[in-house]
């Protein structure tokens, strides 16, 4: 009989219990909604950053291509100028040799004419 009274008193206390699962579910739903909104905001920000990054990469690739073309042009100009300098040096030495021969010829002419 004492066991029965313990059981009845335990069950009587149990009926006074009010479940809190509704509040917990509400809190979890609110957390889920906040996390979904945060994820959405972060996704939009990341997509915007990715688009900006892709645009920057495209611009840099165009810049590299333009600068590579400039380097090729300048390299070709350097080669042409190097060849031109060599040719001018050869022309200078030829002209100096011709001048020397002309001066000798002039000296001989002056000698023979006087």
Going by pLDDT thresholds of 50, 70 and 90, the confidence category of residue 5 is: confident
pLDDT at position 67: 97
CA distance 74 to 54: 30
Query: pLDDT (tens digit, 9 = 90+) per residue, 43-66?
Result: 999 999 999 999 999 999 999 999
| Tokens found for residue 63 | 């810049």
Instruction: Note the pTM of the prediction, 2 decimals.
Output: 0.52
Query: pLDDT (tens digit, 9 = 90+) per residue, 87-108?
Result: 999 999 999 999 999 999 999 9
CA distance 90 to 86: 6
């Amino acid at each position: 009989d004492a066991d029965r009274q313990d059981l009845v008193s335990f069950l009587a206390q149990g009926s006074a219990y009010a479940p809190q699962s509704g509040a917990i579910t509400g809190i979890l739903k609110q957390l889920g909604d906040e996390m979904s909104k945060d994820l959405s905001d972060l996704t939009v920000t990341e997509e915007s950053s990715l688009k900006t990054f892709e645009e920057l990469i495209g611009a840099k690739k165009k810049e590299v291509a333009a600068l590579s073309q400039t380097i090729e042009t300048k390299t070709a100009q350097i080669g042409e100028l190097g060849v031109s300098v060599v040719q001018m040096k050869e022309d200078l030495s030829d002209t100096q040799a011709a001048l020397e021969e002309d001066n000798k010829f002039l000296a001989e002419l002056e000698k023979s004419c006087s």
